[in-house]
Amino acid sequence: MIKRKTQLPELHKDLLTELDKLFPEMSPDKDWSEKDCMWKGGQRSVVRYLHEQFKIQNEITYDKE
């Protein structure tokens, strides 16, 4: 996964929930063309990236003493 130094605006869980509905994780359908597989895979890749950024934004860091 690409690591960015640029901070994204704060992501909200509601946005990710809607993106999951629009672009769900799914296996390719036998009727999809190669182009369709690549397109849908790219869409989902962006959603996975945003989930990872959301996770990073919401991590709680505890100082070890």
Rounded to the nearest 5 percent, the helix, strand and coil shares of the chain are: 50, 0, 50
Residue 7 pLDDT: 80
Task: Tell me what the mean pLDDT of segment 19-44 comes to.
Answer: 96
What pLDDT, on a 0 to 100 scale, did the predictor assign at position 10? 92
- Please list, in sequence order, all residues whose beta carbon lies within 8 angstroms of the beta carbon of residue 51, skipping any fewer than 6 positions away: 16
1-12 average pLDDT score = 75
Amino acid 65: pLDDT: 54
Determine the Cα–Cα distance for residues 1 and 44; give it in Å rounded to an integer.
13
Per residue in 19-28, pLDDT (tens digit) is: 999 999 999 9
Q: Report d(CA 54, CA 3) in Å as an integer.
A: 13
Domain boundaries, the chain: 13-24+33-57
